Amino acid sequence: MDYLHVDVFSSQPYSGNSLAVFPDSVGLSGQQMMRITREMRHFESVFLAPDSTHERTWGARVFDLVGELDFAGHPLIGASCVLHALHGADETETWHLKLKARTVDVTTRRRSAGRYTGVLDQGPAVFLGRPTIPELAAWFSLDADDLDPDLPPEVLSTGLRYLIVPVRGDALERARIAQDLDAPLAALGAQFAYLLDATTLEGRHWNNDGNLEDVATGSGAGCAAAYLRRHSRIGDGVTVTLRQGRLTGRAGQMAISAHGEGKDIRSVTVGGDVAFVAEGHLRELPA
């Protein structure tokens, strides 16, 4: 089985968020996909299968090192750019990717050989509450003064449910997850946490146990865009650059926008560059 290795949210290889894309995974079980993902050791892998009933439509299953995800950002953008390289006829194409929960659209553009740009429409944002968490700063080895006093923590979703945690000063650089956050986040109705500096437009995200930091989180960036728009930190439909990954040594840049007012955010987009790094072939599939 063939696969491609691409770096997402970077114009150059060996930066941004790496990804393994399997463009034709017909016949693979979910268990096989999970084992392959763990073998690849990228933050996530995506497995595609053509949908014969709809043009430019592909089934997509996304796995991280823990399990299958209902939604993701950088795998869908990277996968769509691979589809463009393999099947695109025009300079700009739109791809429909069918996840378990819903179908999303990604528009891709060929920039040069091995260089693409993709924009994912994540759809509307759903705001799920502003919890009061006295110990919130301590979750990230921070002090209460490190939290942005002008912006409240908030749970929202554009596909995955994130607790957006606004911070200020040098808090991003000092932040570390101090405990496993699975249970505390679940109690708030959230799946993950995303630290956001709304002044510098930079974010950080880890697995909930803190053992692995994500380089550039497309799903989290979508929530950050909706959050920033709700609090009038970005204009309606205005595209800005959200940075992430600087502290991992693989800086990434995500172009984000949100359309709407207040809690009525009707559409969120996340985009970025994709650089092709390598092509590979699995000599044997897992049982």
Per the structure, the count of domains in the chain is 2
**Two structure tokens written together for 187:** 């109690």
Q: Residue 7: inside a domain, yes or no?
A: yes
Domain assignment of residue 14, yes or no: yes
Same-domain status, 99 and 116: yes
Domain assignment of residue 233, given as a range: 126-272
Q: Are 219 and 160 in contact (CB under 8 A)?
A: yes
- pLDDT tens for the chain, 287 residues long, are 999 999 999 999 999 999 999 999 999 999 999 999 999 999 899 999 999 888 899 999 999 999 999 999 999 999 999 999 999 999 999 999 999 878 999 999 999 999 999 999 999 999 999 999 999 999 999 999 999 999 999 999 999 999 999 999 999 999 999 899 999 999 999 999 999 999 999 999 999 999 999 999 999 999 999 999 999 999 999 999 999 999 999 999 999 999 999 999 999 999 999 999 999 999 999 99
**Is the separation of the CB atoms in 178 and 209 below 8 Å?**
no
- 135 and 189 in a common domain: yes
pLDDT of residue 41: 94
**pLDDT, tens digit (0-9, with 9 covering 90-100), for 61-117:** 999 999 999 999 999 999 999 999 999 999 999 999 999 878 999 999 999 999 999
Q: Give 218-256 as a DSSP string.
A: HHHHHHHHHHHHHTTSS-TT--EEEEE-GGGT--EEEEE
Instruction: Classify residue 173 as exposed, middle or buried by CB count within 10 Å of its CB (0-12, 13-18, 19+).
Output: exposed
- Token pair for residue 170? 């040098």
Could you tell me the CATH number of the domain that includes residue 251? 3.10.310.10
Q: How many CA atoms lie within 13 A of 155 on its CB side?
A: 17
Distance, in Å, from the CA atom of 49 to the CA atom of 180, rounded to the nearest integer, reads 35
Within 10 angstroms of residue 262's Cβ, the number of other Cβ atoms is 10
pTM of the model: 0.94
Residue 267 shares a structural domain with residue 164: yes
| 32 and 91 co-located in one domain | yes
In 3D, which of 273, 227, 179, 244 has the Cα closest to residue 43? 244
Question: Are 79 and 144 found together in one domain?
Answer: no
CB 130 within 8 A of CB 185: no
